[in-house]
């Protein structure tokens, strides 16, 4: 048995992979592969419509917001957000909590005036800033809900008197959210929704009143809304697999049910980290991510030995990001509780042999 702890592209439920593999050979009894059908065919239009409906049901999205499936990854949204939302002569506020928020800030500054109003860079992004003032003159506030590299996560979203924009790439569908708090949410698929290649965007319709003069047609959210995510050719296969994965999530009780399981998994792993004398977590306790558990050995010379023990137990992908080192266990929705149990058992065995 193999347990996939990679941060992304990430684990998918086995039944989703099996159903997707059948569609690669023969989709919807068409005698054609999902990889070669027209995105304008009634069969794929039906896929897109079901994917829309599942997102709306699982996140309780009302008529004020619209859903899009786009290409380009979440990184393209670093540019699309300011191009569509940041008006000339106005400023946007960003909170810097790690690599991806830093990249969003860098790209955003290409198109407008951006202030970093809070940052956790002073402690190597080991916490989520709180209690900072937010001036009402800002066009929007941008945050990153979960930080895959550093292992931090917003447990409560900031109360703000300006529109809130959030990159939820690595924890969307892992817990219930109040969609009405947000003017725009974007998320790359390859953590909790599906394979790499599709990007989910949820935007409040009233937020799209004016856009930049720099805005090209394919970067304009309005064009994608009018085209029902088919202004240009959508990422057909990633959307299809995302739809299958959202079906799986709904069948298993939705985001409320998966949150309970995710909490079990993270509690089990953090509990072992806090108990085991060989390991430690550098993340502020109240900001520990339920999706990406970043941790270290007190003696880093034992790193290779621990990774080898993990590999022998079927545990893959726990080496930490190169910018942080140590280890990272990504425990997205499709990671079974059993996988986390096996990891904690390996940690206990490693303590017994090296403690």
Residues known to be catalytic: 100, 167, 191
Preceding omega of 122 cis (within 30 degrees of 0): no
In angstroms, rounded to a whole number, what is the distance separating the alpha carbons of residues 85 and 231? Answer: 20
Q: For the range 302-307, what are the long-range contacts, defined as Cβ-Cβ under 8 Å and sequence gap of 24 or more?
A: 302/278, 302/350, 302/354, 303/327, 305/350, 305/354, 306/346, 306/350
Give the C-alpha distances (Å, rounded to integers) separating 210 from 14, 26, 188: 44, 44, 25
What values do phi and psi take at 249, rounded to 5?
-65, -45
In angstroms, rounded to a whole number, what is the distance separating the alpha carbons of residues 79 and 221? Answer: 12
In angstroms, rounded to a whole number, what is the distance separating the alpha carbons of residues 282 and 172? Answer: 24
Give the C-alpha distances (Å, rounded to integers) separating 220 from 30, 144, 212, 213: 34, 22, 9, 11
Q: Are 254 and 59 in contact (CB under 8 A)?
A: no
In angstroms, rounded to a whole number, what is the distance separating the alpha carbons of residues 327 and 309? Answer: 13
In angstroms, rounded to a whole number, what is the distance separating the alpha carbons of residues 355 and 189? Answer: 40
CA atoms within 13 A on the CB side of 39: 16
Q: Which residues pair with 62 in a beta bridge?
A: none
CA atoms within 13 A on the CB side of 249: 33
In angstroms, rounded to a whole number, what is the distance separating the alpha carbons of residues 80 and 216? Answer: 10
Q: Which residues pair with 166 in a beta bridge?
A: 143, 185
């Amino acid at each position: 048995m193999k347990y996939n702890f990679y941060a992304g592209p990430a684990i998918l439920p086995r039944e989703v992979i099996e159903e997707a593999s059948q569609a690669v050979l023969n989709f919807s009894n068409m005698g054609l592969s999902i990889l070669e059908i027209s995105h304008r065919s009634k069969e794929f239009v039906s896929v897109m419509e079901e994917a829309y409906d599942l997102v709306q049901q699982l996140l309780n999205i009302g008529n004020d917001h619209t859903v899009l499936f786009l290409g380009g990854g979440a990184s393209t949204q670093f540019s699309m957000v300011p191009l569509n939302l940041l008006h000339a002569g106005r400023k946007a506020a960003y909170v810097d909590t790690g690599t991806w928020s830093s990249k969003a800030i860098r790209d955003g500054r290409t198109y407008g005036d951006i202030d970093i109003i809070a940052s956790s860079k002073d402690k190597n992004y080991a916490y989520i800033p709180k209690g900072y003032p937010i001036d009402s003159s800002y066009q929007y506030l941008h945050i990153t809900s979960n930080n895959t590299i550093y292992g931090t996560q917003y447990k409560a979203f900031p109360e703000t008197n300006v529109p809130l924009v959030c990159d939820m790439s690595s924890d969307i569908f892992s817990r219930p959210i109040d969609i009405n708090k947000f003017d725009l949410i974007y998320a790359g698929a390859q953590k909790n929704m599906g394979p790499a290649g599709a990007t989910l965007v949820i935007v409040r319709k009233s937020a799209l009143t004016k856009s930049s003069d720099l805005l090209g047609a394919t970067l304009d959210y309005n064009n994608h809304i009018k085209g029902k995510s088919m202004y240009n050719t959508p990422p057909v296969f990633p959307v299809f697999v995302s739809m299958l994965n959202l079906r799986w999530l709904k069948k298993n009780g939705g985001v409320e049910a998966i949150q309970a399981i995710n909490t079990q998994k993270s509690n089990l792993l953090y509990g072992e980290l806090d108990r085991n004398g060989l390991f430690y977590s550098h993340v502020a306790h109240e900001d520990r991510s339920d999706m990406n558990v970043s941790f270290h050995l007190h003696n880093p010379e034992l790193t290779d030995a621990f990774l080898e023990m993990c590999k022998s137990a079927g545990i893959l992908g726990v080496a930490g990001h190169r910018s942080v080192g140590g280890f990272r266990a990504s425990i997205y929705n499709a990671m079974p509780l059993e996988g986390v149990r096996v990891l904690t058992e390996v940690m206990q065995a490693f303590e017994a042999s090296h403690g």
